């Protein structure tokens, strides 16, 4: 049986990846089908109505928010102020990966928030250990799972016993972590391949990952923007009429925005700090190895209490953490923003965006996160 399954994986015909994105191919290879010529964007209100009436979010794309000059300035200012802090978190999570997996690991970042973090981890390990780890970016979609063809392609390239380290930007409720766990179980049932479902993240405010750089819920500059800090790639798309059985999930490459792209600016701002933070990072990682941090899913419990207070049936309308709240303000229809305290320095851009969009901000004491974005329910206030 195992021989047959092995043969099936190795002989599975999968379309070869095409060059995509504004990163160097030496930094990352996107295992995504190019849908740049397909019209997929829908206006925010129209898309929100479609999602809440049952259309899956992966079947269309939001119109990318074009930030104001003031907001772009905030990105650069935040990047300058937090570059060393981000570098330390990258270094810690990289040291954790090396300690747990060694240097024969394949980095698999989850598009698109995971991609810049995967690039930084690859760069850190290369600089610190002289090891050039392969790095792919693949699609994972809540409600639909991971891109199986992308996983099988990686195994064809690197062997069925390849050690894959999944990477994402940050955790919110832990939904993607749960999708990853289910996906790895499914792959085992289908092919007998046991992948490690550990998800390495830069920040884990949701307390649902064991491999992270920090649990502080602060603004990672790459959460400030959309495609222009993620290699000019859109969110990933999965639709039967666009994606064939031998193809990867799809995405658009917004080449027309090359002039405003800061994907490599973000990387270039962080990397120079690697050498100065490496020693501290190694000490933190060793400490975490000795007494592994608990995975409590505390963030999810916070969300459940918000659901009760505001009478929100659909948990997917609550997006916790600085990164997720930013996304709500950039591409959904926000109802309100909850913050732990109004003077939290991590929330300057959230307040700015909320003012820009006329969204009320309320204090919700005792939050695990710095903030939560609540999407406006469109079929009655409590649905």
**Phi and psi torsions of 141, nearest 5°:** -130, 125
For 325-368, write each residue's pLDDT tens digit: 988 888 788 999 999 999 888 898 899 889 988 999 999 988 88
| Segment 51-97, tens digit of pLDDT | 888 888 888 888 877 777 877 887 898 899 999 999 999 999 999 99
User: What mean pLDDT do residues 369-380 have?
Assistant: 83
pLDDT at 4: 65
> pLDDT value at position 287?
96
Per-residue tokens: 21: 């994105």
Reference 352, options 86, 81, 67; nearest CA is 67
In angstroms, the CA 71 to CA 285 distance is 34
pLDDT for the residue 378: 76
Residue 165: per-residue pLDDT: 98
Residues in a beta bridge with 251? 34
CA neighbor of 150 nearest in space, from 246, 74, 274, 240: 246
What percentage of the chain exceeds 90 in pLDDT?
A: 64
Question: Is pTM beyond 0.85 here?
Answer: yes
115 pLDDT above the threshold of 90: yes
Q: Point out the least confidently predicted range of 1-15, 110-124, 181-195, 196-210.
A: 1-15
Look up residue 278 and give its two tokens.
């490496």
User: What's the mean per-residue pLDDT of the chain?
Assistant: 90
Lookup: tokens for 119: 């690039």
* pLDDT exceeds cutoff 50 at 369: yes
The distance of Cα 56 from the centroid of its chain, to the nearest Å, equals: 18
Query: What is the predicted pLDDT for the residue at 302?
Result: 87
Rounded Cα distance between 281 and 289, Å, is 12
pLDDT in tens, 43-64: 878 888 888 888 888 888 888 7
Confidence (pLDDT) at 380: 43
Tokens 């040291």 belong to 95
Give the whole-angstrom CA distance, residue 75 versus residue 219.
Answer: 10
Count of beta carbons in the 10 Å neighbourhood of residue 235: 23
Mean per-residue pLDDT for 108-132? 97
CA-nearest of 40, 46, 349 to 225 is: 349
Q: What is the pLDDT of residue 379?
A: 59
Identify the residue whose tokens are 């608990």.
294
| Mean pLDDT along residues 269-297 | 96
What is the mean pLDDT of the segment spanning 4-25?
A: 86
Mean pLDDT, rounded, for 298-316: 89
Mean pLDDT of 157-185: 93
Give the pLDDT score at 330: 80
170 or 93, greater pLDDT: 93
Q: What percentage of the chain has pLDDT greater than the value 70?
A: 97
* Secondary structure (H, E, C), the chain: CHHHHHHHHHHCCCCCCCCCCCCCCCCCEECCEECCCCCCEECHHHHHHHHHCCCCHHHCEECCCCCCHHHHHHHHHHHHHHHHHHHHHHHHHHHHHHHHHCCCEEEEEECCCHHHHHHHHHHHHHHHHCCCCCEEEECEECCCEECHHHHHHHHHHHCCCCEEEEEEEECCCCHHHHHHHHHHHHHHHHHCCCCCCCEEEEECCCCCCCEEEECCCCCCHHHCCCHHHCCCECCCECCCCCCCCCCCCEECECHHHHHHCCHHHHHHHHHHHHHHHHHHHHHHHHHHHHCCCCCCCHHHHHHHHHHHHHCCCCHHHEEEHHHHHHHHHHHCCEEEEEECCCCCHHHHHHHHHHHHHCCCEEECCCCCCCEEEEECCCCCCCC
Q: Supply the pLDDT for residue 1.
A: 43
Structure confidence by residue, pLDDT tens digits, 122-142: 999 999 999 999 999 999 998
| CA distance linking residue 264 with residue 125, whole number of Å | 18
């Amino acid at each position: 049986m195992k021989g047959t399954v092995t043969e099936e994986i190795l002989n599975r015909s999968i379309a070869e990846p095409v060059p995509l994105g504004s990163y160097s191919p030496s930094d990352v290879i996107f295992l995504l089908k190019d849908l740049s010529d397909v019209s997929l964007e829908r206006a925010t209100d129209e898309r929100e109505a479609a999602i809440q009436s049952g259309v899956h979010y992966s079947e269309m794309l939001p119109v990318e928010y074009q930030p104001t000059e003031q907001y772009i300035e905030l990105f650069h200012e935040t990047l300058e102020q937090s570059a060393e802090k981000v570098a330390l978190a990258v270094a810690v999570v990289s040291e954790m990966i090396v300690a747990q997996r060694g240097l024969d690991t394949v980095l698999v970042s989850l598009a698109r928030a995971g991609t810049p973090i995967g690039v930084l981890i690859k760069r850190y390990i290369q600089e610190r250990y002289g090891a050039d780890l392969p790095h792919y970016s693949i699609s994972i979609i809540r409600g639909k799972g991971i891109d199986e063809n992308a996983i099988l392609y990686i195994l064809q390239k690197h062997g069925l016993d390849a050690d894959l380290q999944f990477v994402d930007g940050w955790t919110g409720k832990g939904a993607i972590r749960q999708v990853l766990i289910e996906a790895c179980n499914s792959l085992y049932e289908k092919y007998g391949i046991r992948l490690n479902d550990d998800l390495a993240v830069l920040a884990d405010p949701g307390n649902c990952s064991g491999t992270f750089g920090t649990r502080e819920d602060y603004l990672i500059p790459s959460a400030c923007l959309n495609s222009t800090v993620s290699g000019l790639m859109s969110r990933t798309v999965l639709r039967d009429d666009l994606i064939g059985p031998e193809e990867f999930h799809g995405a658009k490459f917004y080449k027309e925005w090359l002039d405003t792209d800061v994907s490599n600016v973000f990387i270039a701002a962080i990397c120079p700090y690697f050498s100065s933070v490496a020693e501290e990072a190694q000490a933190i990682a060793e400490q975490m190895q000795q007494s592994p941090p608990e995975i409590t899913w505390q963030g999810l419990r916070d969300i459940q209490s918000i659901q009760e207070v505001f009478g929100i049936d659909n948990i997917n309308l609550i997006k916790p953490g600085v990164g997720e709240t930013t996304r709500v303000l950039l591409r959904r229809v926000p109802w309100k923003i909850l913050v732990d305290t109004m003077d939290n320095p991590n929330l300057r851009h959230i307040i700015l965006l909320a003012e820009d969009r006329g969204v009320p901000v309320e204090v919700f004491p005792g939050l695990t996160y710095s903030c939560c974005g609540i999407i406006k329910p469109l079929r009655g206030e409590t649905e």
